[in-house]
Amino acid sequence: MAECGDLCVEAVKTALSVGYRHIDCAHLYGNEVEVGEALAQAFNASLKREDVFLTSKLYCTMNSLNKIDNYVRVSLKNLGVSYLDLYLMHWPDISAFGDATDPPSKSGTEYRQFLNRLKKAWKAMEGLVELDLVRAIGVSNFNVQQIKELLKFAKIVPAVNQVELHPFWRQEELVKFCQLKGIHVSAHTPLGVPTSSPGPSDSGSGEDEPGTPRISFKRSRSVHGPMLKLSVVSEIADKLKKTPEQDNYTIGIRT
């Protein structure tokens, strides 16, 4: 979610009113105050806190890793709640200026420094669970190697790895590895990133996955129909048979 102002408040209120129960936030999105306002209005009506699953994400510079508990407290204040259901490390590594970066190569001083930052950050994340500020912790945009490194010292295994995952970039190796380790894979941009070409986004693999239909997002909204019928999406829908809205969603895939 990256909208701000009244539009964001109304969007969240509408989503909650029609049955949405997972709100995926992040400090980086810059709209937690607006999401919190929408939640407050919903809670003042009939919705209960325990009915909503709230996610947010850590995003800080390497110079402020000792202030991670402060970051989550700011998110809690902005959202108007006392705890988060899930708190994710937004990116494997961060620059001194707070920019998301890919970790250095798997050897040398820079890589060891990256591992030290990761270990320090994850230890602080684990502390958030002990403080009852968050119910679960996880990661985002981590690949197989980075998760392997994390598991070498993690006392709490990440509950979730949220990554770009869609028919144009299925990341089958990563998904299978996470499943093997008991880590739930959550997809962001699950229908792909709108571009002028049918390939993956810049953060993708650079090539279409084998067997993926070459569909252009700019042709029409009907692009979602063929994509939703792919097995990787259908499997997710089958797990969502909890409400009439979700049942209708699944039926729509099969028609």
Residue 103 pLDDT > 50, yes or no? yes
pLDDT digits (tens, 9 = 90+) for 3-62: 468 899 999 999 999 999 999 999 889 999 999 999 999 999 999 999 999 999 998 665
Q: Which amino acid belongs to residue 6?
A: D
Beta-carbon contacts of residue 26 (< 8 Å; ≥ 6 apart) = 32, 56, 57, 59, 88, 90
Query: What is the structure's pLDDT at 192?
Result: 76
Query: Catalytic residues, which ones?
Result: 29
Give 235 or 109, the one with higher predicted confidence: 109
Alpha carbon 137 to chain centroid, angstroms: 11
State how far the alpha carbon of 27 is from the alpha carbons of 58, 78, 195, 198, in Å: 7, 10, 26, 31
Mean pLDDT, rounded, of the chain: 79
Instruction: Kindly state which CATH superfamily the domain 5-157 is placed in.
Output: NADP-dependent oxidoreductase domain (3.20.20.100)
Burial state string for 205-227 with b = 16 or more CB within 10 A and e = fewer than 16: eeebbeebeebebeeeeebbeeb
CB-CB contact of 115 with 103 (8 Å): no
Query: What is the structure's pLDDT at 49?
Result: 97
Q: Where are the domains of the chain?
A: 5-157
Query: What is the structure's pLDDT at 190?
Result: 82
